[in-house]
C-alpha cells in the first residue's frame, strides 16, 4: 500500500544533542510537510518542500532544519533540542496545490520526541 | 486570511447517540474543507473532504459533513457513536494555492458506554 512512513516512532534525546527524524513516502507526491504537535494542540506547520523548493514558516526557529535528498525522503534535523521541543512530529505529503483534488494531505504516524 | 474555529474542545456522548462536532471557517475564496481524526499516538487520518459539488459529504466510518456556505459551517455528524470513535477530531481549511492546511483547535470526542 502507498503510504507515509516515519522512523523512529519514538525518539529520546538529551538536551542539546542533535537529533534527526526521518520520513519516507511511496505516494510519489511532490510536496512534503513537517509539523510539530504538542499535547492537546493542533499540528503546527514548520516547513514544507515543493519538490526541492524549501519553504520555511516565518515563526519556525532556526534550531529546526530540513533536508530532502530525493522525492521519497525528507529529514527533520533539530540542532540543539530544548525541553520545549518535546512533541509529536508529523510528516505529510500531497500533490501540488491548485487543483480541486490536490490539497489533501496524507500523514505519517508521527515520531514522538522526548528530550531529557 | 483563512481561519477555522471548532466549538467545544471536548464533546461527550453515549454509545449509540448522535455525534455532532462543530466547525466554522472564515475564507475569502471558495474553501476546501477537511475533517481529520487522530487516535492516541497516531498521525492524522482523513475522514472526509469538501472541494466542490455536493454539499453533503460522506466519509469513512459512517461520518458525514455538510458544507453550508451561508453559515460558513462544516459540521461533522455520525448518527450513532461507537466506542471506537473516541479520538481527537480536527477541522481544517486549505489555504488557497499554497496547499497549506489551517487547522482548528481540535475537539476531543469521548464515548461513554
What tens digit of pLDDT does each residue of A19-63 get?
A: 999 999 999 999 999 999 999 899 999 999 999 999 999 999 999
Rounded CA separation B91/B102 (Å): 8
* Chain mean pLDDT for chain A: 92
A100/B106 Cβ within 8 A: no
- Residue of B2, B32, B42, B44 to mutate, interface with A, max A Cβ within 10 Å: B44
Nearest-CA distance from B35 to chain A in Å?
11
First to last CA, chain B: 41
Residues 6+ apart with CB under 8 A from A1: none
> Is residue A28 within 8 angstroms of chain B, CB to CB?
no
* Chain mean pLDDT for chain B: 92
Residues from chain B that touch A42, judged by Cβ atoms under 8 A, are 90, 103-106
Facing A103 at nearest CB: one of B32, B41, B90: B32
Amino acid at each position: 500500500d502507498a503510504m507515509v512512513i516515519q522512523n523512529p516512532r519514538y525518539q529520546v534525546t538529551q538536551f542539546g544533542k542533535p537529533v534527526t527524524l526521518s520520513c519516507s513516502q511511496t505516494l510519489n507526491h511532490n510536496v512534503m510537510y513537517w509539523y510539530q504537535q504538542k499535547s492537546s494542540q493542533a499540528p503546527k506547520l514548520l516547513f514544507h518542500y515543493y519538490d526541492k523548493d524549501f519553504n520555511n514558516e516565518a515563526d519556525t526557529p532556526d534550531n529546526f532544519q530540513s533536508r530532502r535528498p530525493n522525492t521519497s525522503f525528507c529529514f527533520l534535523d533539530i540542532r540543539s533540542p530544548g525541553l520545549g521541543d518535546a512533541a509529536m512530529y508529523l510528516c505529510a505529503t500531497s500533490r501540488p496545490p491548485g487543483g480541486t483534488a490536490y490539497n489533501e494531505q496524507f500523514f505519517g504516524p508521527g515520531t514522538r520526541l522526548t528530550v531529557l | 486570511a483563512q481561519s477555522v474555529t471548532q466549538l467545544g474542545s471536548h464533546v461527550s456522548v453515549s454509545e449509540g447517540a448522535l455525534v455532532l462536532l462543530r466547525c466554522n471557517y472564515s475564507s475569502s475564496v471558495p474553501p476546501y474543507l477537511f475533517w481529520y481524526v487522530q487516535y492516541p499516538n497516531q498521525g492524522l487520518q482523513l475522514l472526509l473532504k469538501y472541494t466542490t459539488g455536493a454539499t453533503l459529504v460522506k466519509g469513512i466510518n459512517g461520518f458525514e459533513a455538510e458544507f453550508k456556505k451561508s453559515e460558513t459551517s462544516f459540521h461533522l455528524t455520525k448518527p450513532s457513536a461507537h466506542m471506537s470513535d473516541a479520538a481527537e477530531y480536527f477541522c481544517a481549511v486549505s489555504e488557497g494555492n499554497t496547499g497549506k492546511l489551517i487547522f482548528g483547535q481540535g475537539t476531543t470526542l469521548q464515548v461513554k458506554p
